[in-house]
A and B are shown apart, each in its own frame.
Chain A
Amino acid sequence: MSTYSEEHIKYLKKQKKEKRIICFFRLLIIICFLIAWELLSRFELINTFLSSSPTEVIETTYQLLQDKTLFTHIGVTLYEVLISFSVATLIGFVVAIILWSNKIIAKVIDPYLTVLNSLPKVALGPLIIIWVGASTNSIIFMALLISTFVTIITIYQGFAETNQSYITLLKSFGANKRQIFMKAIFPSNIPTLISALKINISMSLIGVIMGELLVSKSGLGYLIMYGSQVFNINLVITGVVILGIISYIMYFAIDRLEVYIKKKRGN
């Protein structure tokens, strides 16, 4: 395996080239977009008061850094997202195990889960504020409502669709339910769990921003809301851009986790 044939080296080179082309075009799109945006606003072809411009976004970011509020806002949002993400993951996992281990409960709960999952949670916003109070708690509650059900459903479906022959095999050795879970259901569903984490992190972010738009004193959602109220479009767009970067970083972190786990499990 240490020496490759010429054909294989060619193949590897081709792969590498393809990767570079993809990277290049990805960057090209964003750079072209930024240049076009900048030029259009420089030559006043678009109204910078309404649509801002890259340099103004950078300036606004710099200002936010100067008065040290940027990291507070990012910190608050991240804190809320991480709490919601962890709690939703935990609840999703535990509930999925309960549903998997008891078919009757699973069947009883099924229609409720479907309804709760597809209900537009924003509609509950005002109610949540009344029940939980205008605080960070209601933001996290909103995020949990949005992320928990889909996490439960994704993980449970993975559990329920586990290759039946794995289970038959373990039963032939006399395995009990706990052993079946530990030896087959859990390890064979690691990919499902990772995709549940991916869905969950985006849902938590969506939920937190939605909550912050409704009620908050800080956070990126607040920044965007405040910006729009004082008609400071620079602030709104800066908030959105930072949000985009954060969501990409969080997704990327889980993606790396996936690659790491795949490597460790030998495929």
Chain B
Amino acid sequence: MDKILTITNLEKSFHTRDGEIKALESVSFDVREKEFISIVGPSGCGKSTILSILADLEEKSNGEINFSKDYTIGYMLQNDSLFEWRTVLENCLLGLEITNQLTKENKEYVINLLKTYGLEEFIDSYPSRLSGGMRQRVALIRTLATKPDILLLDEAMSALDYQSRLAISDDIYKIIKKEGKTAIMVTHDIAEAISMSDRIIVLSKRPATVKKVYEINMQNKSTPIHNRKCKEFASYYDEIWRDLDVHI
């Protein structure tokens, strides 16, 4: 598959009054079309920073980011950040309003997404009526509304309880595959990464470099919940756990 994004020697330092903190030493990897990539690493290693830079929320200190075409990016945050004063539909239209793309067709597209992914009866409800999992699904549809080519998921499921998380990662995975999107997910959950990804990038401690890249090949690869039962799952888990080198 074609490379759509190449990141070369990405560096990032943060400056505070107390000094300078180097978050990313030198991070390089590429992303192929329609691929699901996960980035894992020890906590505080700067994995979310990579997404912030890709989403233009943060400036890089050095390095190259090259998109093969003029791709658009959708960013899904750790918490759903639904606006409580807007209905589910109004929340999903937010990105279209900001980018001045609120046409009849686009609105129709969003309504269809909501219908397809089981939120039809909540279209005119306020977010306070939704469960945590449903809120996350709304957040994903809000991200999909602007039809981004590449999705960035920043610990998108980590605020949920374990059961909802399993269910919603299955959901989100299916939605992303069905809509034919490329996705880059940051997570601290190794199992989540293995079950969802085509490739996993393991980062070192801060300042981060790419420690290892895993191609996830499983014989009976299907949806995330099923993938957890594959026989290769445990060995991937072991290897990545060792890479992370966790000491408490």
Contact flags A147-164 to B (C-beta < 8 A → 1, else 0): 000000000000000010
Kindly state whether residue A174 has any CB partner on chain B within 8 Å.
Answer: yes
> Looking at B55, B85, B87, which has the most chain A CB atoms within 10 Å of its CB?
B85
In the complex, are the beta carbons of A173 and B85 less than 8 A apart?
no
Residues in A neighbouring B74, C-beta threshold 8 A: 172
Q: Do B87 and A172 touch (CB < 8 A)?
A: no
Which residue of the partner chain, among B77, B79, B99, contacts A174 with CB atoms under 8 Å?
B99
Residues from chain A with Cβ under 8 Å of B55 in the complex: 172
A180 nearest in chain B by CB position: B98
Q: Which residues on B sit within 8 Å (CB–CB) of A169?
A: 75, 77, 81, 94
Interface size on B, residues (CB 8 A): 23
Total CB contacts across the A-B interface at under 8 A? 54
A9 to chain B, nearest CB (A): 23
Shortest beta-carbon distance, A193 to chain B, in Å?
13
State whether A267 touches B128 (Cβ < 8 A): yes
- Chain A residues within 8 Å of B56, by CB: 172, 174
Report A57 CB to chain B, min CB distance, Å: 45
A165 touches B77 (CB 8 A): yes
> Which parts of A217-267 form the interface with B (CB within 8 Å)?
265-267
The DSSP consensus for interface residues of chain B is loop
Please state if B81 and A166 are interface contacts (CB–CB under 8 Å): yes
Q: Please, which residues of chain A bring their CB within 8 A of the CB of B83?
A: 166, 183-184, 187-188
Knowing A266-B87, A266-B126, A267-B128, the reply to whether A174 touches B81 (Cβ < 8 A) is: no
Given A175-B98, A179-B98: A187 in contact with B77 (beta carbons within 8 A) = no
Closest Cβ of chain A: how far from B101's Cβ, in Å? Answer: 10
Report whether B85 and A188 are in contact in the complex, using a CB–CB cutoff of 8 Å.
yes
Q: Which of B35-63 contact A (CB under 8 A)?
A: 55-57
The reply to whether B98 and A267 form a contact with Cβ atoms under 8 Å apart is: no
**Are B81 and A168 closer than 8 Å at their CB atoms?**
yes
Question: Residue B245 at the A interface, CB < 8 A?
Answer: no
B207 within 8 A of A: no
Per a CB cutoff under 8 Å, which of A163, A175, A265 touches B81? A163
Query: Contact check: which of B77, B85, B99 meets A168 at CB < 8 Å?
Result: B77
Q: How large is the interface on A (under 10, 10 to 19, 20 to 34, 35 or more residues)?
A: 20 to 34
On chain A, the residues within 8 Å of B95 by CB distance are 173
Cβ contacts under 8 Å, A166 to chain B: 81, 83
CB of B122 to closest CB in A, whole Å? 12
B169 within 8 A of A: no
Q: How long is the Cα–Cα vector from A233 to B84 in the complex, in angstroms?
A: 53
Residue of A nearest to B152 (CB): A172
Is the CB–CB distance between B85 and A172 below 8 Å? no
A170 at the interface (CB under 8 A from B): yes
Task: Name which residue of chain A comes closest to B74, CB basis.
Answer: A172
CB pair B85–A183 under 8 Å, yes or no, is no
Residue of B nearest to A191 (CB): B85
Q: Which chain B positions have C-beta within 8 A of A103?
A: none
Instruction: Give the complex CA separation of A134 and B191 in angstroms.
Output: 77
Give the distance to chain A from B76, nearest Cβ to Cβ, in Å: 9
Q: Specify which chain B residues have a CB less than 8 angstroms from the CB of A175 in the assembled complex.
A: 98
Residues in B90-132 with C-beta less than 8 Å from chain A: 94-95, 97-99, 125-126, 128
B81 x A267 contact (CB < 8 A)? no
Q: Are A183 and B77 in contact (CB under 8 A)?
A: no
Least distance between A136 CB and chain B CB atoms (Å): 40
Complex alpha-carbon distance, A173 and B91, angstroms: 13
Q: Which residues of B contact A190 (CB under 8 A)?
A: 85
Q: Which of B79, B84, B94 is in CB contact (< 8 Å) with A267?
A: B84
Select the residue from B55, B75, B81 with max chain A CB neighbours within 10 A: B81
- Are A265 and B77 in contact, with the CB atoms below 8 A? no
Complex CA–CA separation, A166 to B94 (angstroms): 11
Query: Is A14 an interface residue, CB under 8 A from the partner?
Result: no
Q: Are A172 and B94 in contact (CB under 8 A)?
A: no
Q: Which of A172, A266, A267 has the most CB of B within 10 A?
A: A172
Min C-beta distance of A137 to chain B, whole Å: 40
Question: A13 within 8 Å of B by Cβ?
Answer: no
> Counting chain A CB atoms within 10 Å of each CB, which of B83, B87, B99, B146 scores highest?
B83
Rounded to whole angstroms, the CA-CA distance of A170 and B57 in the bound complex is 10
Query: A20 interface residue, CB < 8 Å from B?
Result: no
Nearest chain A CB to B85 CB, angstrom units: 5
Looking across the interface, which residue of chain B has its beta carbon closest to that of A164? B81
Give 20 CB contacts A-B under 8 Å.
A163-B81, A165-B77, A165-B78, A168-B77, A169-B75, A172-B56, A172-B57, A172-B75, A173-B94, A173-B95, A173-B98, A173-B99, A173-B146, A174-B98, A175-B98, A179-B98, A265-B85, A265-B126, A266-B85, A266-B126
| A residues adjacent to B (C-beta < 8 A) | 163, 165-166, 168-175, 179, 183-184, 187-188, 190, 265-267
4 tightest A-B CB contacts, nearest first: A172-B75, A266-B126, A173-B98, A165-B81
